[in-house]
Amino acid sequence: MKAYVLVKFDPQADLSKASHALMEPGVEKMDLVFGNWDAVAFVVADDMAALSRLSAKIRKCPGIIDSVTYPVIPAESMSG
């Protein structure tokens, strides 16, 4: 199961510590972005339960104050 996790950092956070989220198994990459969120992580997990656990670990990383997880439905699965 793949997902995007949008992350918001504490404005006072040391981003080098917040990057600890990148070390969690299943986090494929994280990019900083401009807008309402500060970063987007692409993650992979075996199933929804594992995805939920990974999302919780990311949210608990130092300097991260909020996150939201969006599971991915591959676009090709939508074609008839």
DSSP states along 10-58: -TT--HHHHGGGGGSTTEEEEEE-SSSSSEEEEEE-SSHHHHHHHHHHH
Residue numbers of the domain that contains 49? 2-74
**36 pLDDT tier (thresholds 50, 70, 90):** very high
Q: What is the pLDDT of residues 22-32, one digit of tens each?
A: 788 999 999 98
- Cβ atoms of 4 and 54 closer than 8 Å: no
Instruction: Decide if 79 is inside a domain.
Output: no
Q: What is the pLDDT of residues 56-66, one digit of tens each?
A: 999 988 889 99
The answer for 65, left when phi > 0, alpha when psi is -120 to 50, beta otherwise, is: alpha
- Cβ atoms of 28 and 44 closer than 8 Å: yes
Read off the pTM.
Answer: 0.85
Instruction: Decide if 80 is inside a domain.
Output: no
CATH code at 62? Answer: 3.30.70.920
